[in-house]
Amino acid sequence: DADVTQTPRNRITKTGKRIMLECSQTKGHDRMYWYRQDPGLGLRLIYYSFDVKDINKGEISDGYSVSRQAQAKFSLSLESAIPNQTALYFCATGIEGQVKEQFFGPGTRLTVL
């Protein structure tokens, strides 16, 4: 089984709809992250959480919100989706320490019409 899973893997929605993307991990990591990736661009950090009670904005948090329901779960919400939020979304996990390696999920492709 995959260590970091994302649901759904693909989603098409309409402008103005509320969308939730979910991420679960079995790695036991405290840190979780949400990124978006646009064609021809690198990943950009949306939100990150260093533990269940810690939520921090990343580079591009406007239009998004997150919830850390448990150590293993970190969900990303788009309260009112807009077309420029069409992108590939990745969840990642990591641990505190010398090695800052992050482990990525398979991604969710979101299309907002």
Partner 1 sequence: GESVGLHLPTLSVQEGDNSIINCAYSNSASDYFIWYKQESGKGPQFIIDIRSNMDKRQGQRVTVLLNKTVKHLSLQIAATQPGDSAVYFCAEILSGAGSYQLTFGKGTKLSVIP
Count of Cβ atoms closer than 10 Å to residue 31 Cβ? 18
Count of beta carbons in the 10 Å neighbourhood of residue 97: 7
Closest approach of partner 1 to the CB of residue 48, in Å: 7
Of 41, 40, 39, 27, the C-alpha closest to 91 is 27
- Residue 51, interface with partner 1 (CB under 8 A)? no
Stretch that binds partner 1, among 12-20, 55-63, 64-72, 79-87 (CB under 8 A): 55-63
Residues contributing to the site for partner 1 (CB under 8 A) = 4, 35, 40-45, 48, 50, 56, 58-59, 90, 92, 99-107
